[in-house]
């Protein structure tokens, strides 16, 4: 059996492991899929830095409808 040009089975399995439903996987563009599976560029935010930002910019919750 010849090798498949695009490893669809492996790609769909990877999507499933990340919580992407098959129907949603097939709706993704190639650019969107690459963005989802790409390793983060550069440095990531540490937990301490995130918490400092969260204190500076708290979420605004508006309970009035």
pTM: 0.47
Q: Please, which pLDDT band fits residue 9 given cuts at 50, 70 and 90?
A: confident
Nearest Cα neighbor of 18 from 32, 34, 36 is: 36
pLDDT per position as a tens digit, 11-54: 888 888 889 888 998 999 988 988 888 877 778 888 999 999 99
Quote the pLDDT of residue 8.
84
């Amino acid at each position: 059996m010849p090798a498949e040009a695009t490893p669809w089975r492996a790609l769909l399995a990877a999507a499933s492991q990340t919580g992407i439903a098959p129907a949603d996987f097939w709706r993704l563009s190639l650019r969107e899929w690459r963005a989802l599976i790409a390793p983060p560029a550069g440095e990531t935010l540490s937990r301490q830095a995130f918490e400092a930002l969260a204190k500076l910019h708290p979420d605004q919750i508006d309970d009035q409808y």
